């Protein structure tokens, strides 16, 4: 018995180290791609890409993709998806904008409303998933539709201008060290998430539930609480993204959040987060969001059709998922079909994900 246990422990450690090595290699590749992208755009623009205005614009429009990528990562970590990322962010931004513009809500309170509205939507998604036992893909697809309708009901065809929240616009125009403040805020959020997933108990429980729900249950971890916490965190980050919208854009309307879905998936998946859950890659998500922004910048620089951006990003996401599945499949391992309702099996009692 002890020999079998020792062998199982060695196998589990080997799988964990294999996952960590894969994430390290992927991060190195992403850094290389970012460097190549910067060099290509710099050469193409004869150095103009590195000008002050160009750099400020690049990072100004990178902050929101980073945050929504982290929002999607939070649900992927527990083996779920959040299709309502854009709808939550758009609804939260429009709700706060309407309250500040039409109801005279103080600007600081409007900022709080945007964040709390995102958190509330995320928690509702999590509770529905737990109570109905329906996969988050279906639940968030439904809430995406509902919130998109509510967002349109709030603003209709109107654009609520940022004249009602000048203080937030001042924050959005701040440039510490020549880089937009909202980008620094997105990096701070990424740093806090990285620390949380490494050290915070609730975050570690979410990873355990995502990696192997059965093993988590046997260890006394509530998978239901982990799902609600993950969706709540995702909604909270969507609310933060809505706040960044209020800081950086000249107004809000029904289109806010409509183009967030693909970038929200592209950043964590390209960054190294597995769809099966159990692991996160905060740095990889930030780097992948940067690559997506570089692709969009290259599209404009080379005057390509905008549809090419979605084509390239979609193809890269599909290829990354396929390659990740191939690399994570243990060689020579016989899979045991689970006999109970859980998707975990005795041959995979230890999650192979991690934090990067």
Domain chopping of the chain, boundaries: 60-328
Structure tokens that stand for 305 in this block: 């059709």
Mean pLDDT, residues 43-63 taken together: 92
Q: Which residue has the higher pLDDT, 324 or 196?
A: 196
pLDDT exceeds cutoff 70 at 341: no
Mean pLDDT, residues 101-106 taken together: 94
On the CB side of 230, CA atoms within 13 Å amount to: 33
Mean pLDDT, residues 301-311 taken together: 78
For Cα atoms 206, 207, 208, give the angle at the middle one, nearest 5 degrees. Answer: 90
| pTM of the predicted structure, to 2 decimals | 0.85
Q: What is the pLDDT of residue 143?
A: 97
Least trusted range by pLDDT, from 69-78, 210-219, 325-334: 325-334
For residue 10, what are the CA distances in angstroms to 4, 328, 330, 336, 349? 10, 17, 14, 19, 13
Give the pairing type, strands 251-252 and 160-161. antiparallel
Q: What is the pLDDT of residue 23?
A: 65
Mean pLDDT, residues 166-186 taken together: 94
Q: Which residues pair with 252 in a beta bridge?
A: 160
Q: What is the pLDDT of residue 303?
A: 81
Nearest to 168 by CA among 240, 104, 247: 247
Q: What is the pLDDT of residue 351?
A: 43
Mean pLDDT, residues 300-326 taken together: 77
Cβ-contact 338, 81 below 8 angstroms: no
φ/ψ bin of 220: left (φ > 0), alpha (ψ from -120 to 50), beta (otherwise):
left
Mean pLDDT, residues 96-116 taken together: 96
Nearest to 77 by CA among 314, 282, 239: 282
Those residues whose C-beta lies under 8 Å from the C-beta of residue 261, and which sit 6 or more positions away, are: 83, 85, 86
Q: Which residues pair with 355 in a beta bridge?
A: 280
Mean pLDDT, residues 113-137 taken together: 96
Q: What is the pLDDT of residue 337?
A: 46
Place of tokens 């934090």: 355
Neighbours of 124 (CB within 10 A): 18
Q: What is the dihedral of CA 118, 121, 125, 126, to 10 degrees?
A: 60
Mean pLDDT, residues 85-101 taken together: 97
Longest dimension (CA), the chain: 71
User: What CATH class has 60-328?
Assistant: mainly alpha
Structure tokens that stand for 1 in this block: 């018995």
Place of tokens 């396929």: 322
For residue 62, what are the CA distances in angstroms to 248, 274, 293? 11, 23, 6
Nearest to 88 by CA among 235, 274, 272, 305: 235
Structure tokens that stand for 228 in this block: 């609600």
User: For residues 43 and 141, what is the distance between their CA atoms, to the nearest angstrom?
Assistant: 42
Query: What length does the chain have?
Result: 356
Q: What is the pLDDT of residue 338?
A: 47
Residue 269's H or E segment, with its range, is: helix 261-271
Q: What is the pLDDT of residue 301?
A: 83
For residue 92, what are the CA distances in angstroms to 87, 152, 246? 8, 12, 10
Nearest to 160 by CA among 116, 95, 63: 95
């Amino acid at each position: 018995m002890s020999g079998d246990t020792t062998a199982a422990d060695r196998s589990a450690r080997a799988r964990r180290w294999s996952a960590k090595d894969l994430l390290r290699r992927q991060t190195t590749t992403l850094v290389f791609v970012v460097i190549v992208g910067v060099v290509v755009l710099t050469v193409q623009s004869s150095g103009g890409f590195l000008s002050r205005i160009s750099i400020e614009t690049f990072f100004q429009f990178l902050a929101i993709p980073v945050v929504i990528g982290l929002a999607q990562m939070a649900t992927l970590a527990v083996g779920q998806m959040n299709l309502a990322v854009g709808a939550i962010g758009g609804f939260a931004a429009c709700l706060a904008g309407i309250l500040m513009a039409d109801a005279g809500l103080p600007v600081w309170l409007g900022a709080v409303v945007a964040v709390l509205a995102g958190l509330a939507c995320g928690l509702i998604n999590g509770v529905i998933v737990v109570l109905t036992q329906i996969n988050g893909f279906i639940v968030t697809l439904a809430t995406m539709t509902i919130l998109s309708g509510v967002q349109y009901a709030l603003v209709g065809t109107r654009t609520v201008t940022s004249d009602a929240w000048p203080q937030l616009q001042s924050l959005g125009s701040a440039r510490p060290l020549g880089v937009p403040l909202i980008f620094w805020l997105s990096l701070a959020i990424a740093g806090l998430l990285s620390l949380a997933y490494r050290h915070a108990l609730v975050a570690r429980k979410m990873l355990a539930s995502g990696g192997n729900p059965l093993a988590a249950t046997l260890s006394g971890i509530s998978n239901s609480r982990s799902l609600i916490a993950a969706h709540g965190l995702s909604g909270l980050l969507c609310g933060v993204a809505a706040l960044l919208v209020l800081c950086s854009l000249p107004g809000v309307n029904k289109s806010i959040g409509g183009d967030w879905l693909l970038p929200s998936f592209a950043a964590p998946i390209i960054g190294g987060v597995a769809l099966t859950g159990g692991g996160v890659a905060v740095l990889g998500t930030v780097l992948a969001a940067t690559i997506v922004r570089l692709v969009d910048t290259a599209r404009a620089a080379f005057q390509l059709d905008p549809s090419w951006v979605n084509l390239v990003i979609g193809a890269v996401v599909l290829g990354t998922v396929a390659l990740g599945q191939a690399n994570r499949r243990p060689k020579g391992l016989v899979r045991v079909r689970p006999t109970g309702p859980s998707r975990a099996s005795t041959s995979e009692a230890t999650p192979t994900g991690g934090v990067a």
